Amino acid sequence: MEPTISFFSGFQLNDLWFLAEAAWKTLLISVLSISIGTVLGIFFGWILYEGRWTAALTLGPLLDVFRSVPLIIQLVLFYNFAPIIGLNLDPFLSGVVILSIYCAALVANVARGGMEAVGNTMRRAARSLGMSYWQDLRYVVLPIGGRAVFPSWVGVALGVMKDSALVSVLGYIELLKASQILITRTQEPLLILTLAGAFYFALSYPISRYAATLEKRWAS
């Protein structure tokens, strides 16, 4: 009698390392996307703040598109249509591009709100002290406005980190994709999803705690 061939195997120690590598990939794509998206978002927020009606009629609707259309649709459309315009990007770079733009669209409104939180009286006082427009922006508007909207930015950053799981539809093996692969092989969904959740928590919790520490330091 021929031996029975099984395509399934139980959870092994190597599988934990596989999840750890996937968690590192999740962290990498998240850090790049959040960093680029934050810089772009502050720039877009400044345009919306200074541009007023002109920016609201041009840049505003474009950012609304990226905020409104489901992220998974943006990822699939960009990944499939990018080669048409000569951009042959792998899943990682495609994910970074879309996640960065998505993050920028969210941060733009946060940044504009922070700038609007700085009253005109304070800005006029800065200018009366001899500060230029850019010095006023750098030393007054951004520090004060940034503190006002910092909790909102942390929420955006954590949301983008969790949304990075959608890059798995492009074939990028991040934490969620790795979990799906292991679930298919081990047939132990509860164990795998628990471990994946623990990795997501390990990635997110330090950010939230550090943010809380900064807020307390600023408050004191």
Position 1 scores a pLDDT of 42
How many angstroms separate the CA atoms of 103 and 40, rounded?
A: 9
Position 8 scores a pLDDT of 59
3.40.47.10, 1.10.3720.10, 3.40.50.12280, 3.40.630.10: CATH of 29-171: 1.10.3720.10
How many angstroms separate the CA atoms of 187 and 180, rounded?
A: 10
How many angstroms separate the CA atoms of 178 and 72, rounded?
A: 18
Q: Minimal CA–CA distance to 74: which of 55, 57, 96, 42? A: 96
Give residue for tokens 């164990």.
191
Q: Tens of pLDDT along 145-180? A: 888 888 889 999 999 998 888 898 888 888 888 888
Position 24 scores a pLDDT of 92
How many angstroms separate the CA atoms of 15 and 120, rounded?
A: 57
Q: Tokens for 186?
A: 């081990």
Position 78 scores a pLDDT of 92
Position 6 scores a pLDDT of 43
Q: Minimal CA–CA distance to 105: which of 47, 170, 169? A: 47
The full set of domain ranges for the chain reads 29-171
pTM for the model stands at 0.86
Position 72 scores a pLDDT of 92
CB atoms within 10 A of CB 1: 3
Query: Under a CB-based contact definition with an 8 Å cutoff, are residues 129 and 64 in contact?
Result: no
Q: Minimal CA–CA distance to 178: which of 7, 48, 19, 10? A: 19
Residues of the chain with pLDDT under 70: 1-11, 53, 55-56
Q: Is 2 helix (H, G, I), strand (E, B) or coil?
A: coil
